[in-house]
Amino acid sequence: MAKISATFWDVGGVLLTNAWDRTERLRALNYFRLDEVEFNDRHEMVVSSFERGKITLDEYLERTIFYRPRPFTREAFYEYMFSLSQAKPDSLQFARELAKSGKYLMATINNESRELNLYRINKFGLKDIFGIFVSSCFVGLRKPEVPIYRLALDVAQRLPEECCFIDDRALNLECARQLGMQTIQMQNVAQLRQELQSLGVEP
């Protein structure tokens, strides 16, 4: 087995809570007393463009929320939306330990809209951990599409067998594995440490 020289990390569900996934959307809909079916119909039509960076957060919310008058302000909705992002401290600490070791290229592969992605990178100090951000909003590709993993390998200039990709969702790992990358489905930090150690990856 080739020596692992690069680790790629999902962000939402691994290092942080999800930014704007099903759970977060439902919380916002309940908080602002919005119709779930009506919102979801509109969301599904624009989410791909939103996460690929083709439309802005303002445009997304104009099409899904503020296409008619609301009893709350855009600012209130933005504030609540961004507040849903929270750290997973143990995961972040472990990623920092690996980064500080200097042994591995540290990078992300994640699906997020531009505004939320930039907010989370800055809010949680991800630039101190990762040198490369292969985010859907930056590259116009989304997991689990094969091209986003190929792009990550090209940017990192690594062979697939030299890389390990960590994600909490099995589907997102399948294409990476088919390309030859090592993969780990994140359950908890202890399990992640153990599986990385079995691949020879430790601080």
pLDDT in tens, 76-121: 999 999 999 999 999 999 999 999 999 999 999 999 999 999 999 9
Report the number of distinct structural domains present in the chain. Answer: 2
Q: Are residues 95 and 67 in the same domain?
A: no
CB 98 within 8 A of CB 203: yes
Centroid of chain to Cα 56: 17
* pLDDT for the residue numbered 189: 97
pLDDT more than 70, % of the chain: 100
Task: Give the neighbor-by-neighbor strand order of the sheet with 163-167.
Answer: 132-135, 105-110, 6-9, 163-167, 182-185
Sequence-distant (6+) residues with CB within 8 A of 197 are none
Domain end marker among 30, 59, 83? 83
Q: Are residues 111 and 40 in the same domain?
A: no
* pLDDT for the residue numbered 1: 74
Amino acid at 88: K
Is 141 a residue whose pLDDT tops 80? yes
Residue 100, CA distances (Å) to 118, 121, 197 in order: 22, 18, 16
* pLDDT for the residue numbered 2: 85
Q: Give a yes or no: residue 155 inside a domain.
A: yes
Which residues on adjacent β-strands are paired with residue 19? none
**Phi, psi (degrees; rounded to nearest 5) at 21:** -90, -175
Domain residue limits at 49: 22-83
